[in-house]
Structure 1
Amino acid sequence: MTQTRVAMWSGPRNVSTALMRSFGARPDTLVVDEPLYAYYLATTGLDHPGRAEVLASQPHEWDDVAAALTGPLPDGVRVHYQKHMTHHLLPEVGRDWIGELANAYLIRDPAHVVASYAKVRGAPDLADLGYAQQAEIHRAYGGPVVDAADLLRDPAGVLRRLCEALALPWTEAMLSWPAGRRATDGVWAPHWYASVESSTGFAPYSSSPAEVPARLRPLVTAAMPYYEEMAAHRL
């Protein structure tokens, strides 16, 4: 059996956990949730909700994480789906291991990301949003790009094209899943996953404009060139 390691690089305040649910609904797939999170917290010293639990649940060295993500997979697993947050990819993290993965990217309009982020984490900076890191990985390794808005407008169509781009068989199982928590969810799930835990599929697309606080509009402007660069390649 051919085994594929899919690294889905996303920024925060996206539909990344719902997309992880979608892949987790495949019978051939094992998912891993933000494997660099403990490394990121240990290195930056940031105090995120559930910090102690996160630090206890994962390795603190990025090279240990990379070795696990590129190592042997269990029998019967065709797809190893890795949900990554691009802001966890700090400058000191080596990049060579990324080339061993089938890289893909989940993007979202910065105005909506910043508006959503500001409601839960105050004032982010550009590094917190991961746009520059996402563009860096794409320039180096390529791979399919999915825009969250397109995914919510047409889940079946976008997921079909994503599977084709990753040389994976399409299955309609990716369109729905049982509500509830998963054993594969990160230990931070109680702090962040209430919405996805109640979901059974992708939420309907909303065309409501983003309400960005005036103080954060320069951040949207700074992130936009990276988003537009990635959006030019979207499926």
Structure 2
Amino acid sequence: MRIAMWSGPRNLSTAMMYSFGARFDCAVVDEPFYGPYLRMTGLDHPMRAEILAARPESADDVAASLTGPVPGQKPHFYQKHMTQHMIPGMPRDWMGQMVNVFLIRHPARVIASFGAKWDGFGLADIGFSQQTELFEYVQALGQTPVVVDSADIRRDPKGMLSKLCDAIGLPFDPAMLHWSKGGHPADGVWASHWYGAVHNSTGFAAAEGDLPVLTGNAAALLEQALPHYERLERVKI
């Protein structure tokens, strides 16, 4: 099974990659389109030079790797994808060979978390509009995409991961609830900038508290992102 997990940044996406990577039967890959995305957009992301050096592949080469032999000859292949990477010009035909899952998180939490790491971002940088567009694309392929909310996973990791595995036709493995501290060999080179909290973890964090209160530009961005979140939230498992 090849699982394409689609989210924006700061969505529990790295913890989910670690969760599936803890399975003995599952290979994982971390944001494979990040290099092509930066080359195609020219964006000045943190660690841009290091990312471009570590991810020299073309977008077509990345797509071929996602549908080619699974690393380590594992039976399953979990792919952590960022929705904002799928700009015009990125190949999409490979998505038809995937079980496509959409990982959502309330945009107030995403905006607050992302803003602590990077200034001057907008709607295009946090992936909500692209998540809606990709969800509709997968539907047009004839699939019924699975949607899971990160808040539900943090409230009940075992219950929600069991539910997710059932929804995609994969047996639940209790190993998914824990991982080794310090990162994963599949981490992208950017992990040192973004993954500090999850590197210090050995499992999913506890349930989140109240939503952060946003003001100014952050509040305006929340207003733009919220309809996209609510659209997918209505069909979550």
Q: TM-score range by the shorter chain?
A: over 0.9
Which residue does 1:177 correspond to in 2? 179
Farther-moved stretch of structure 1 (163-172 vs 129-138)? 129-138
Structure 1 residue matching 2:103: 3-state secondary structure = strand
Deviations 1:18-69 (A, max 9, x none): 1111000000010000000111111111222221121111234211111111
Structure 1 residue matching 2:117: 3-state secondary structure = helix
Relative to the length of structure 2, the TM-score reads 0.93
Superposed structure 1 runs of 4+ greater than 6 Å apart: none
Farther-moved stretch of structure 1 (25-34 vs 205-214)? 205-214
Task: Select which of 196, 206, 211 maps to 1:209.
Answer: 211
Query: Is 1:18 the equivalent of 2:15?
Result: yes
Relative to the length of structure 1, the TM-score reads 0.94
Farther-moved stretch of structure 1 (170-179 vs 137-146)? 137-146
Which residue does 2:196 correspond to in 1? 194
Gaps (5+ residues) in structure 2? Answer: 139-143
Distance 2:177 2:72 in 1: 25
Checking the alignment, whether the CA contact within 8 Å between 2:27 and 2:70 is kept in structure 1 is no
Alignment of 1:149-188 (within 5 A): 149-188=151-190
Checking the alignment, whether the CA contact within 8 Å between 1:42 and 1:60 is kept in structure 2 is no
Distance 2:49 2:3 in 1: 28
Which residue does 1:37 correspond to in 2? 34
Query: Is 1:69 the equivalent of 2:71?
Result: no
Farther-moved stretch of structure 1 (180-189 vs 195-204)? 180-189
Distance 1:99 1:89 in 2: 15
Aligned length: 232
Checking the alignment, whether the CA contact within 8 Å between 1:28 and 1:76 is kept in structure 2 is no
Distance 2:200 2:218 in 1: 31
Deviations 1:143-173 (A, max 9, x none): 2111111110011111011111111111110
Checking the alignment, whether the CA contact within 8 Å between 1:115 and 1:213 is kept in structure 2 is no
CA drift of 1:80 comes to 0.5
RMSD: 1.3
Cα 1:44/1:164, change in 2 over 3 Å: same
Deviations 1:45-99 (A, max 9, x none): 1222221121111234211111111112256411100001111111221322111
Match of 1:214, as an amino acid? G
CA drift of 1:105 comes to 0.8
Alignment of 1:108-123 (within 5 A): 108-123=105-120
Cα 1:209/1:73, change in 2 over 3 Å: closer
Match of 2:196, as an amino acid? A
Task: Give the % identical residues.
Answer: 50
Distance 1:123 1:47 in 2: 12
Match of 1:200, as an amino acid? T
Structure 2 residue matching 1:121: 3-state secondary structure = coil
Query: Is 1:106 the equivalent of 2:108?
Result: no
Which residue does 1:57 correspond to in 2? 54
Distance 1:194 1:75 in 2: 27
Distance 2:55 2:117 in 1: 24
Checking the alignment, whether the CA contact within 8 Å between 1:5 and 1:102 is kept in structure 2 is yes
Match of 1:122, as an amino acid? D
Gaps (5+ residues) in structure 1? Answer: none
Distance 1:221 1:44 in 2: 25
